[in-house]
Structure 1
């Protein structure tokens, strides 16, 4: 619980550790709202200075938007920046109005460039770009804007420990002590040559156990993996997971060490990529946010809906082309939803596994054929089981409801289910791999594309089987 000034009791905040708000904080919310309405800036600032930034963040997110904006603008530089670090991106972007951006411009202009750059990394990209645009005279901060979105250069931290190969272990430890205030956590010391090019790394644990006179050139691991500034952040994450790296060094085109991707940034990248993939799999633009305007919502979702409409129209056209067969045997219409559902589910399952394998780096190029063969036989088995069950249900139903040629209907429906399930799974497993090879986010495959294509294939295969085995 946060402490408060005695004259402002009982205005206190109980930390909310779950998504559900606590009723005990309702009185505090009411009191804060009244102080904001009354314009009691001095009193409320004195109160919140004694709160933990996380508690202030929770308070902001529970207030009405107009009150949150005003309160945020009232906060002085020190607590407000700490609060921003705790806010989720969607809340930060809501609070970042022109007057607030001017407030942060003044704050950043007075900071060390490295500290300012690190703080900028806490903001959503669009807000950071706006702040950078307001700091034209700060060259080092503005350099960040030169890197493309979602690249290593955009998210890298410029604080790191880099020493030359002829530096001794004792000197390195002393240097780390001197850098302790500037760099909070150091897991790896980077080693460079006389030109500043990255040549190796030394883990801190190994450095502390080494004799003081031992040079880094003899201690370092020369098998160093680095990324360039234009490397996509998803590729950085994939590399870090594959090589079990806590931090990833970033080098210039000439091989000079210029930054590192910290554990905190790797965690953030993983969360960003997971959220983007989830949105793409749902048929929503990866840039969508909960605070989007109506125009942005429409722009992000309408293209996917129209793509789904095209797919559904093609499937409807296929069904319409078999109008005579449906008129002759109306019972076939009852099995169309079953076929489309099985095709969609099989395709989504296979594509989800493929996307996960690509994202985590578990799907290697040499392993693709073996994975596809396994996917084929698994889908074949699943389709066979589902087909047998559907055939049995058809035969059981024929004992209750009169059906024409139930035996042939059972064969047609079970074979169509077998073929549809197998083909849909192969499409779902293959398309993400193809998209990844041509540089398109494979998560896009799980959305409208897989669903629509498998609906069309499912309906087409179903009527081909029905025509061959039932209508003949």
Structure 2
């Protein structure tokens, strides 16, 4: 080993919040990066042997991808399994890209089936076909992979405690103790009949407050809330928030208990859905990844850009069709950016509020008449206020900059701005609800589609008003 690569046996690592890049850790990141660059993977593995998996995850994130992949593939299967469980899907897929089948078998055999499924889903289909038959939990993993990724069955865990109704409190407590090492957080013990149908549940306080000889059937709670395995994960989140649940059981069509969804998984779903909506709001594909290759960038973004180009072309064509009006009064061209910007902003504001309400379950399609009336009134007031301000500016500035007929131009601009704001807000408020009713992600209503659609309407309304009033 070169002298420049000699580092202390113990590396200093300060644990911060996930994603933090603390200055105190930069020397360690650089030192490990140099060792990996020179092929000293054995040295790095020894240096990290006492590190917590969470700290290794943070280290991997801060290393260049090539060196992070080299470090991850050098870890023993046990530690590597703990590390991979803490990675997001995209980064995990990138780290596993160069792994051999033998390495993947050892790695996934060290994971719980639920965690293994998440990682296997990111692998190419030909790799999955070669890998799956050799896994220890092949049957369980294959069954879990039949569920859609964004369904309740796709995010549930099979780590839970289930008991029959004729057991005593003492037997249940012993069963909980037996599974204590496998289940980190236990909010309920589920009660099932002989056919494994869910009939009730027990909270931990029920086990503490009742005598050890009491039967489960006498003290179990029957006011449970369960979700079907095919239910969309967004609906699961809404149900748990509405009922203030820390976790929720998952059942099949016949009411048989399949698993449970933990609070950690529910929080992850909320983060993922927010990220997906943010991508759609920005006019990019939900599948976009920070580390995607150039072809991926083109594939995921070009269609959205072309959709925007189509809208801009239509807007330009409308402007071009009024070229005689613009030639007669060139001042009209200066108002085009104003009405387009106002339409885009008003539409996105209304659509964002609608999408947020749909995500939290506070609005629905039956809410459309009341919501539409409220948006119409609010948009009318906002549009009139903006229109009056713009008209006042035109009236005041008109004599100084030589505008002909400033009063008529002020009336044209004010009415057009009020009308554009009203129409854009109405469309922004209603389109997400209609899309959601037909099973389409309402976030599709925003970004490029709302913006370009409102641009077209704004230009059309403005020139119609200008032709009728000013010219």
Same fold (TM over 0.5): yes
8 Å Cα contact 1:188/1:203 also seen in 2? yes
- 1:135 is aligned, of 132, 141, 149, to 132
Shift of 1:438: 0.3
Over aligned residue pairs, what C-alpha RMSD do you find? 2.3
Partners in 2 of 1:130 and 1:167 — Cα distance?
47
The reply on whether 1:41 has 2:38 as its aligned counterpart is no
Partners in 1 of 2:233 and 2:139 — Cα distance?
24
Deviations 1:202-254 (A, max 9, x none): 33223432343443334333333222222211121122122222112111222
Which stretch has the larger CA shift, 35-44 or 57-66? 35-44
Q: Would the alpha carbon gap of residues 27 and 449 (structure 1) be closer, same or farther in structure 2, given more than 3 Å must change?
A: closer
Shift of 1:124: 7.7
Shift of 1:49: 0.8
The reply on whether 1:355 has 2:355 as its aligned counterpart is yes
The reply on whether 1:123 has 2:119 as its aligned counterpart is yes
- Which residue of 2 is the match for residue 79 of structure 1? 79
8 Å Cα contact 1:132/1:141 also seen in 2? no
Gapped runs of 5+ residues in structure 1?
1-5
Partners in 1 of 2:414 and 2:302 — Cα distance?
37
- Which residue of 1 is the match for residue 151 of structure 2? 151
Shift of 1:50: 1.3
Shift of 1:101: 5.7
8 Å Cα contact 1:173/1:208 also seen in 2? no
What is the correspondence of 1:305-316 to structure 2 with a 5 Å cutoff?
Answer: 305-316=305-316
What is the correspondence of 1:180-195 to structure 2 with a 5 Å cutoff?
Answer: 180-195=180-195
8 Å Cα contact 2:432/2:442 also seen in 1? yes
8 Å Cα contact 2:84/2:92 also seen in 1? yes
Deviations 1:116-172 (A, max 9, x none): 213325638414978754122511112222122211111110111122233333332
Deviations 1:2-30 (A, max 9, x none): xxxx9834643333548563444343334
8 Å Cα contact 1:129/1:145 also seen in 2? no
Which stretch has the larger CA shift, 452-461 or 359-368? 359-368
The number of residue pairs the alignment matches comes to: 462
8 Å Cα contact 1:388/1:414 also seen in 2? yes
What is the correspondence of 1:107-256 to structure 2 with a 5 Å cutoff?
Answer: 107-109=107-109, 111=110, 116-120=112-116, 123=119, 125-127=121-123, 133=129, 134-137=131-134, 138-256=138-256
- Which residue of 1 is the match for residue 464 of structure 2? 464
Which stretch has the larger CA shift, 308-317 or 437-446? 308-317
- Which residue of 2 is the match for residue 452 of structure 1? 452
Partners in 2 of 1:353 and 1:226 — Cα distance?
29
- Which residue of 2 is the match for residue 439 of structure 1? 439
Partners in 1 of 2:242 and 2:467 — Cα distance?
50
Shift of 1:268: 0.9
Partners in 1 of 2:419 and 2:258 — Cα distance?
54
Query: TM-score, normalized by length of structure 2?
Result: 0.92
SS in 2 for 1:183: coil
Q: Would the alpha carbon gap of residues 207 and 11 (structure 1) be closer, same or farther in structure 2, given more than 3 Å must change?
A: closer
- Which residue of 2 is the match for residue 3 of structure 1? none
